[in-house]
Structure 1
C-alpha cells in the first residue's frame, strides 16, 4: 500500500503565452519563487532544476505552441523536495524513457539524465481537468 501524499507547503502557478519569452520568464519566476521559499540559488539542485525547467518550457514553445497557445508552470517545494511541472494542451505525450532518435533531439535525454543524476523522478501525466499533459519533475533537496 502506498503512503498518502502530503501536500507541498509551497506552491506557485504561472501561465504564459507559449512564445520564446516564456522560457526566460519561467526561469526568472523560479529563481524568485525559490528564493522567497528560502531555497538558495546556490543549492546544488537549483541550477540543474532551472536547466530542466528551461528545456521543458522550450520544448512546449517549439513543439506544442500550435496546439497549445499557453504553457502553465507549477512550482512546489517542501523541506525535502522540489517539484515542478510544465503543462500544455497538445495531446502528444513524449516518452521519457527509452532511446532518443535523431529526429527527436537530445533535450529530453538531457532532462532524464539530470533527473536521474540528482535522484529525482520525471513523469508525463495526462491532465484530468483540461486537455493535454504535464511533465512533472521531482528532485530531492
Structure 2
C-alpha cells in the first residue's frame, strides 16, 4: 500500500489543455520552486521539468477532447519534490506499463527511475479522471 504524505509546500495551477500550457507549467514550476527556496540549479529540478513537460504534453495530446482543462499540483518538503498532472479523461493509466509505453510515458518512467524517484497514478473517486504523481529526491 502506498503511503500518502502531506508535504508542507503546495501550489496548484489550472490551465487549458492546449500546447501553450506546457511551457506555462514549466515556468510556474521554476517560479514556485524558487519561491520555496529550491535552487533552480538543484540537480533534481532539470529532470523534474522534463518529466513535467512530458506529462502535460501527454494530457494535452490525449485528454483535451474530453478534458478542456488540466491541473498541475506542485509540492515539496524536506527531501522531496513532488508534482502531479491531473486531467478528467476517464482512461486510466497503468503505471507498471510506463517503461514499455511509446513516447512520453517511457521517458517519465526512465527519468524518474534514474533520479531515484517514483511515479503513480491516482484515479479520481468517480473514475472520471486521474492524476499522475511524481516524486523526486531533493
Report SS of the residue matched to 2:96.
Answer: coil
Report SS of the residue matched to 1:86.
Answer: strand
Shift in CA distance, 29/124, structure 1 to aligned 2, threshold 3 Å: same
Matched, 1:124 2:128: no
* Moved >4 Å (runs of 4+): none
Rg larger in 1 or in 2?
1
Encode CA deviations 1:74-130: one digit per residue, 9 max, x unaligned: 000002100100000001122332363xxx632111110111111111001101278
Shift in CA distance, 130/70, structure 1 to aligned 2, threshold 3 Å: farther
Report SS of the residue matched to 2:95.
Answer: coil
Question: Where does the alignment leave 5 or more consecutive residues of structure 2 unmatched?
Answer: none
TM-score between the two structures when normalised by the length of structure 1: 0.90
Report SS of the residue matched to 1:97.
Answer: helix
- Count of residue correspondences: 137
Matched, 1:136 2:133: yes
Using the alignment, how far apart are the partners of 2:129 and 2:80 within structure 1? 25
2:103 aligned residue (103, 106, 110): 106
Question: Where does the alignment leave 5 or more consecutive residues of structure 1 unmatched?
Answer: none
Q: Is the 8 A contact 2:71 2:86 kept in 1?
A: yes
Shift in CA distance, 130/16, structure 1 to aligned 2, threshold 3 Å: farther
Using the alignment, how far apart are the partners of 1:38 and 1:114 within structure 2? 23
Higher mean C-alpha displacement, 64-73 vs 86-95 = 86-95
When the two chains are superposed, the root-mean-square deviation of aligned CA atoms in Å is 1.9
Q: Greater helix share, 1 or 2?
A: 2
